[in-house]
């Protein structure tokens, strides 16, 4: 079953398909070959632009004239980008996506010039001593104050907190003469949003989508005889989300130092097949990057270790066959290998199973010397989805009881805190939850580490909208340029996590309404997902598309938001406008008898614990209002679990459907 913040939602499996999965994390022990340094401490922060920052923005945005904050959540997404501009820094930022664009002919070429290089905030000698001294992760908006009144700069849908505007972060990084000849990368796990990065006054690149993790190559701009100054500009628009997005560098930031020949970013893919208690076949793909400027012959050796509960290596259990390969200058090469592990410790959800983890440790050798060591954590397990019997993990039935979870941590804001996230999972487990849908964006990498270790099942989701937006300044503005890079980066980062059972590439998108045109967009995203990982089903959650529509056909599994039990389908909802459907579980099952039907959002009841408002509605499900179930004076909702959002239904109605 599945719940969402501020309203009750259930998700449960009605049938499913087939899958085996695994998981990755980036760590390293060989300090001489690879260093991954957390650089969260001792940053300086300033809200706003300097007076000399004219023209420093990503792209021209549409002007927002209506900040209507009373839009019903399932209103049809119909925002389109009508602004065409050739100004801003977009042309310099787009090349940051090239590693995740499959066709080299579509790679972006960086223009000449160094925009922003003369801005005071990016200079090494700029005095930032009066700026706020902070540590990351950081959410500049959570401390408030809250906006009040109608037509506020940031409305209730985004938390009425000051997320909007520009913020700058500065930090000096430690680069020594010993780093000469190495490749040095800046890895940002999440920055909200439209990140642009300068090093020593040089524009390095950036990434607009605030939820995705990204890497920038600092190597060409490093100085080995003095301080190296990082300056990061974020530009967080209002009217850009349907929930509280947070603001700032709200996840971890890393400095990665490697030799020129190294395992590429998120460069391993570990998956398992033929899984049983007696043996399992583990397949490994390693992508090696050569930035040395000449062809190199390298040897790759990967050993598999079992891990204990603290993720410490216990013992070696297998070795992949060693591989020798030649890699051309400034190119990448994939190495494929397989190994059979005897009597594997399987990953599975508690309480009936244990979430056992392994580490594949890949070492690269050049001329007999180790040049890189890269650890990929993963799990061995099988998942089978039966359209009638449901989910089987390692051939054992598991009833999915899940929640939708947004990325913020309540009063702590969006700044990720591992213990707070772990506490959330502990509370969810206590109430019987064993699954999470990441609504509706990529989560922090550390959250997936927790779901792996604790044994939760995960649907990993990336987009809330595509080309047709839900708010004036949301992701639809950059979807045409960034959907491929964002999707590939998302999959590569997360695909080794055993907790992930399916990919979701959309939530209630406007393309459901546009027949074949929308289905083509869905197919494009589906194909990208399957190119990056064909071991898991790919889907998008639907609140409008019907069984006979082309959009529904593009999914491996059928994710339904409220349509299963019917939307505005009971007598008490007859006066409401919006989507209206009868219960559609039977129709979808008849149309797609071999596909999973998953209720990815359901119910959406509202209540205030211990509060009862009379008279009580006669129906088993009714929309809350000031006259039905609601107490407008005290802002309460009756606790009978009968009253719902406009598009919702009570649990009684859900199970009756």
CA 111-114-119 angle, to 5 degrees, is 150
Report DSSP state, residue 101: -
- Strand residue runs (E) in 251-312: 253-258, 261-273, 279-290, 296-307
Residue 311: what pLDDT?
95
- Taking the CA of residue 24 as centre, how many other CA atoms within 13 Å lie in the half-sphere pointing to its CB? 21
Tokens of 647: 């598009």
Residue 82 confidence (pLDDT): 67
On the 0-12 / 13-18 / 19+ scale of CB atoms within 10 A, 483 is buried
pLDDT for 27: 38
Residue 79: its pLDDT value, please?
74
Assign a CATH topology to domain 34-258. Jelly Rolls (2.60.120)
Which pairing describes strands 34-38 and 253-258: parallel, antiparallel, or unpaired? antiparallel
CA of 308: how far to CAs of 40, 269, 277, 345, in Å? 27, 22, 19, 11
- Residue 59 is encoded by which pair of tokens? 């792209």
Identified catalytic residue from 9, 375, 461, 601: 601
Nearest-angstrom CA–CA distance, 566 and 581: 5
254-27-364 Cα angle (round to 5): 110
Q: Is 515 helix (H, G, I), strand (E, B) or coil?
A: helix
**What is the CATH code for 8-22+382-601?**
3.20.20.80
CB 555 within 8 A of CB 16: no
Which tokens sit at 110? Answer: 């960086």
pLDDT for the residue numbered 23: 32
CA distances from 623 to 265, 388, 633, 643 (A): 48, 32, 18, 5
Tokens in use for 194?
A: 């439209």
Q: Report the pLDDT value the prediction gives residue 33, as an integer from 0 to 100.
A: 83
H or E stretch including 491?
helix 479-494
What's the pLDDT at 352? 96
Question: Domain residues of the chain, as ranges?
Answer: 8-22+382-601, 34-258, 261-379, 605-657
Q: Two tokens at 103? A: 């066709």
- Contact (CB, 8 A) for 462 and 493: no
Phi, psi of 399 (to 5 degrees): -85, 120
**Residue-level pLDDT at 67:** 65
Class of domain 261-379: mainly beta
Mean pLDDT by 10 residues, the chain (657 residues): 38 36 37 87 98 95 76 75 78 98 98 97 98 99 93 90 98 94 98 99 99 99 93 96 97 98 98 98 99 96 97 97 97 98 98 98 97 98 93 95 96 98 98 98 99 99 97 96 99 99 98 97 99 98 97 97 96 95 96 95 94 92 95 93 95 92
303 classed as catalytic: no
Is 132 a residue of the active site?
no
Q: Categorise residue 576: left if φ over 0, alpha if ψ from -120 to 50, beta otherwise.
A: beta
Of the residues 484, 508, 532, 565, which is catalytic? 508
Which token pair is 269? 């893919």
Residue 79 to residue 60: CA distance in whole angstroms: 16
pLDDT at 318: 98
Structure tokens at 10: 């259930």
3-state per-residue secondary structure call for 397-460: EECCCEEEECCCCHHHCCCCCHHHHHHHHHHHHHCCCCEEEECCCCCCHHHHHHHHHHCCEEEE
> Helices (H), strands (E): how many in the chain?
7, 36
Backbone phi and psi for residue 158, each to the nearest 5 degrees, phi listed first: -105, 15
Q: How many residues does the chain have?
A: 657
Long-range (24+ apart) CB contacts under 8 A made by 31-35 are 32/370, 33/258, 33/259, 33/364, 33/370, 33/371, 33/372, 33/373, 34/256, 34/257, 34/258, 34/259, 34/262, 34/372, 34/373, 34/374, 35/255, 35/256, 35/257, 35/258
Residue 444: CB atoms within 10 Å: 24
């Amino acid at each position: 079953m599945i719940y969402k913040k501020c309203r009750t939602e259930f998700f449960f499996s009605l049938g499913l398909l087939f899958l085996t999965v695994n998981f990755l994390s980036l760590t390293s022990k060989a300090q001489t070959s690879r260093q991954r340094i957390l650089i969260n401490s001792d940053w300086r922060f300033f809200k706003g632009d300097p007076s000399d920052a004219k023209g420093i923005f990503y792209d021209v945005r549409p002007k927002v004239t209506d900040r209507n904050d009373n839009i019903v959540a399932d209103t049809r997404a119909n925002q389109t980008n009508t602004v065409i501009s050739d100004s801003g820094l977009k042309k310099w930022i787009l090349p940051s996506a090239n590693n995740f664009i499959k066709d080299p002919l579509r790679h972006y070429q960086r223009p000449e010039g160094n925009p922003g290089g003369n801005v005071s905030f990016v200079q090494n000698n700029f005095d930032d001593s009066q700026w706020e001294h902070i540590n990351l992760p950081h959410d500049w908006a959570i401390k408030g104050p809250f906006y009040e009144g109608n037509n506020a700069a940031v409305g209730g849908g985004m938390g009425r907190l000051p997320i909007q505007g520009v913020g700058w972060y500065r930090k000096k990084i430690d680069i020594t003469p010993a780093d000469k000849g190495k490749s040095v990368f800046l890895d940002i796990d999440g920055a909200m949003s439209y990140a642009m990065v300068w090093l020593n006054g040089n524009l390095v690149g950036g990434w607009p989508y605030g939820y995705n993790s990204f890497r920038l190559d600092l190597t060409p701009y490093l100085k080995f005889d003095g301080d190296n100054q990082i300056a990061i500009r974020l530009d967080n628009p209002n009217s850009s989300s349907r929930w509280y997005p947070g603001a700032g560098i709200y996840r971890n930031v890393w400095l990665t130092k490697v030799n020129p020949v190294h395992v590429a970013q998120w460069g391993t893919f570990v998956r398992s097949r033929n899984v049983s208690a007696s043996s399992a076949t583990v397949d490994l793909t390693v992508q090696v990057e050569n930035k040395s400027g000449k062809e190199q012959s390298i040897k790759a050796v990967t050993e598999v270790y079992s891990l204990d509960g603290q993720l410490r290596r216990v013992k070696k259990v297998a070795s992949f066959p060693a591989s020798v390969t030649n890699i051309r200058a400034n190119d990448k090469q994939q190495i494929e290998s397989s190994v059979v592990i005897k009597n594997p410790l399987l990953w599975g959800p508690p309480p009936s199973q244990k979430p056992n983890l392994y580490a594949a440790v890949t070492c690269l050798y050049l001329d007999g010397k180790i040049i890189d060591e890269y650890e990929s954590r993963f799990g061995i397990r099988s998942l089978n989805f039966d359209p009638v019997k449901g989910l089987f993990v390692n051939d054992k039935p598991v009833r999915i009881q899940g929640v939708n979870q947004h990325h913020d941590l309540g009063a702590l804001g969006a700044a990720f805190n591992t213990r707070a996230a772990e506490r959330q999972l502990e509370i969810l487990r206590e109430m019987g939850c064993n699954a999470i849908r990441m609504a509706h964006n990529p989560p922090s990498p550390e959250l997936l580490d927790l779901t792996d270790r604790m044994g939760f099942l995960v649907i990993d989701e990336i987009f809330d909208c595509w080309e047709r937006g839900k708010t004036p300044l949301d992701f639809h503005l950059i979807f045409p340029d960034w959907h491929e890079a964002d999707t590939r980066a998302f999959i590569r980062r997360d695909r080794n996590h055993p907790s992930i059972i399916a990919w979701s590439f959309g939530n209630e998108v406007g393309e459901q309404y546009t027949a074949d045109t929308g289905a083509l967009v869905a197919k494009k995203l589906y194909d990208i997902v399957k190119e990056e990982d064909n071991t898991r089903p790919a889907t998008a959650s639907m609140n409008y598309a019907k069984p006979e529509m082309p959009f529904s056909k593009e999914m491996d599994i059928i994710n339904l938001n409220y349509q299963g039990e019917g939307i505005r389908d009971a007598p008490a909802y007859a006066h409401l406008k919006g989507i209206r459907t009868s219960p559609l579980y039977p129709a979808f099952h008849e149309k797609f008898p071999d596909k999973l039907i998953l209720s990815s959002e359901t119910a959406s009841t509202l209540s205030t614990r211990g509060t009862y408002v009379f008279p009580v509605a006669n129906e088993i499900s009714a929309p809350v209002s000031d006259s039905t179930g609601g107490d407008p004076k005290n802002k309460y909702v009756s606790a009978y679990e009968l009253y719902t959002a406009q598009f919702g239904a009570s649990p009684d109605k859900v199970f009756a459907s």
